[in-house]
């Protein structure tokens, strides 16, 4: 669907379809069919959204389309790094100030900072019922998913040469690309701490650091892998898919670990900070067929409603075995930062 068609199709508000965490099971389930914005009522009134930066402006396109098709809806937007906005929301609440009605975060760890502070309002039953059990949270709605992956250079490796355990990567002879300062990588390390403990995580970081080349971001990691600077990298799935969409013959493919932090499924998400039905109705827009389809096609993110095609180039999700973890636990970021610093990674 072209962007013009997408904008024309965003007309109102409503209810949606499904979500996954153990993806091999969740995507096999049949849930309510996704709802088109054409079948939803108009948004009317004023809201303030705190929007975490991400996805190269594609989230902005979604917001512009929603506003264009709801002329009586005024959305004020404060933009910034997701973690910084989460801290701002908590600080404002402690000061008795309320500026944000909604928070759309590109990382569930930032969501956890706000929910842990008791600031998010519970989802209504009808919205919560749309979510798969493994991705159901009482006070926030995941919007799109992303999988941690091992992009690898196909001219240097075959998939069966790559360990399926993230811990074994540290003991391999593979050269590695990573972006330790990147938020998604730090969430991955937090998941490793939760699953493996601090001691094993620290040893893993030390071993990997000896053979790792550092990049500013995970797109840089993937580009470095494709150029043959390193054998493999650590990155969210969509960076590889985006690069390959513009360069189909790239020496690049995806590998996955099994049941560990190396194939963590994280999510962007949205929550409301007040009980205004308008805020909840806005959240429903993000689960619409049009928005979910747009983000799957353009951002290569995983749609979290039933019946929406997966991003081109993403392997069958039935073969992916992510760990079972409460994504809001990823908010426990400071111990991760401290661990990475004490081991010379940051």
pLDDT over 60 (residue 2): no
Question: Please, which pLDDT band fits residue 36 given cuts at 50, 70 and 90?
Answer: confident
Q: What is the largest CA-CA distance in the chain?
A: 60
For residue 44, the tally of other CB atoms under 10 A from its CB is 12
**Beta-carbon contacts of residue 290 (< 8 Å; ≥ 6 apart):** 1, 6, 9, 10, 36, 37
Sign of CA dihedral 344, 334, 271, 95: negative
Sign of CA dihedral 117, 120, 125, 129: negative
Q: Which helix (H) or strand (E) holds 74?
A: strand 73-80
Question: Please, which pLDDT band fits residue 16 given cuts at 50, 70 and 90?
Answer: very low
Look at strands 45-52 and 235-236 and give their pairing.
unpaired
* DSSP per residue, 205-228: HHHHHTTEEE-SSHHHHHHHHHHT
77-81, 105-109, 305-309: the lowest-pLDDT one? 305-309
Per-residue confidence (pLDDT) for residue 132, from 0 to 100 = 62
d(CA 11, CA 201): 48
Per-residue confidence (pLDDT) for residue 77, from 0 to 100 = 95
Average pLDDT, the chain: 87
Backbone φ, ψ for residue 204 (5° rounding): -60, -45
Where exactly does CATH 3.40.190.10 map onto the chain?
3-145+266-318, 147-263+332-341
Q: Cα–Cα distances in Å, from 40 out to 159, 278, 344? A: 45, 13, 52
Per-residue confidence (pLDDT) for residue 25, from 0 to 100 = 42
Over range 98-110, report the average pLDDT.
92
User: Can you give the pTM of this predicted structure?
Assistant: 0.83
Using only C-alpha atoms, the chain has a radius of gyration, in whole angstroms, of: 20
Per-residue confidence (pLDDT) for residue 131, from 0 to 100 = 65
d(CA 313, CA 184): 21
DSSP state of 72: T
Tell the burial category of 216 from Cβ atoms under 10 Å away from its Cβ (0-12, 13-18, 19+): exposed
Architecture of domain 3-145+266-318: 3-Layer(aba) Sandwich (3.40)
Give the three-state DSSP class for 130.
Answer: coil
Over range 241-255, report the average pLDDT.
95
Q: Which residue did the predictor score with more confidence, 3 or 46?
A: 46
Architecture of domain 147-263+332-341: 3-Layer(aba) Sandwich (3.40)
């Amino acid at each position: 669907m072209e962007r013009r068609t997408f904008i024309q199709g965003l007309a109102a508000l409503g209810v949606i379809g499904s979500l996954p965490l153990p993806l091999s099971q969740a995507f096999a389930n049949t849930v309510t069919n996704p709802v088109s914005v054409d079948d939803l009522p108009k948004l009317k009134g004023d809201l303030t959204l705190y929007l975490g930066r991400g996805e190269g402006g594609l989230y902005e396109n979604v917001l512009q389309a929603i506003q264009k098709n709801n002329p009586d809806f005024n959305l004020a937007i404060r933009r910034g790094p997701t973690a910084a906005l989460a801290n701002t929301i908590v600080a404002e609440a402690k000061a008795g100030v309320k500026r944000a009605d909604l928070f759309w975060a590109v990382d569930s760890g930032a969501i956890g900072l706000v929910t842990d502070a008791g600031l998010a309002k519970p989802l209504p039953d009808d919205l919560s019922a749309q979510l798969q059990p493994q991705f159901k949270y009482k006070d926030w709605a995941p919007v799109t998913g992303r999988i941690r992956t091992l992009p690898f250079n196909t001219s240097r490796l075959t998939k069966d040469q790559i360990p399926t355990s993230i811990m074994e990567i540290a003991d391999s002879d593979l050269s590695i690309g990573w972006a330790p300062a990147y938020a998604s990588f730090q969430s991955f390390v937090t998941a490793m701490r939760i699953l493996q403990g601090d001691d094993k995580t620290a040893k893993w970081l030390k071993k990997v650091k000896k053979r790792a080349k550092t990049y500013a971001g995970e797109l840089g990691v993937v580009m470095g892998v494709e150029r043959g600077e390193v054998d493999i990298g650590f990155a969210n799935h969509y960076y590889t898919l985006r690069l390959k969409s513009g360069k189909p013959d790239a020496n690049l493919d995806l590998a996955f670990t099994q049941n560990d932090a190396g194939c963590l499924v994280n999510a962007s998400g949205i929550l409301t900070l007040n009980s205004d039905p308008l805020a909840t109705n806005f959240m429903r827009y993000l689960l619409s067929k049009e928005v979910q389809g747009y983000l799957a096609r353009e951002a290569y993110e995983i749609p979290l409603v039933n019946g929406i095609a997966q991003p081109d180039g993403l392997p069958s999700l039935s073969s992916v075995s992510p760990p079972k973890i409460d994504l809001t636990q990823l908010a426990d970021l400071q111990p991760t930062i401290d661990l990475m610093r004490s081991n010379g990674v940051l």
